[in-house]
Amino acid sequence: MFVGYLKHVQKRFGKIVIFVDRATPHCSKITRHYFGQNTDTIRLEYFPVGSPEFNAVEECWRQGKYSIFSSYYSMFDDLKYSICCYYRTTRFNLDIVKYLLRSTN
């Protein structure tokens, strides 16, 4: 699935640098093999271990957590549905440059 996404992005943009965390799909043998075959057009950079503040997706998860879990769900399917709806319909206006260059103090 991740390699399929990479192929789509690579076809759309050509040469790319992609930043990822160390989740299993990003480190799998299939992914490493794909990168080995495409070193001239794609470069992979990993976020530092234990540094979720560099990953803008973590900010989206944080915002979703407060929005989704502000309600009570008696059934797991209701929670799952709420999560799916939230992330399919919410548009995050996150300026990636400002996010990464923000002061954490």
Dist. CA 27–CA 25, nearest whole Å: 6
Please, which residues have CB within 8 angstroms of residue 74's CB and are 6 or more apart in sequence?
none
| 16-20/42-46 β-pairing | parallel
Could you state, in order of their start, the residue ranges of all structural domains in the chain? Answer: 2-46, 53-101
The whole-number average pLDDT for the span 28-53 is 87
**Alpha-carbon distance 105 to 103, whole Å?**
6
Q: How confident is the model at residue 29 (pLDDT cuts 50, 70, 90)?
A: very high
pLDDT in tens, 11-27: 999 998 888 888 888 88
Is the pTM higher than 0.75? The answer reads: no
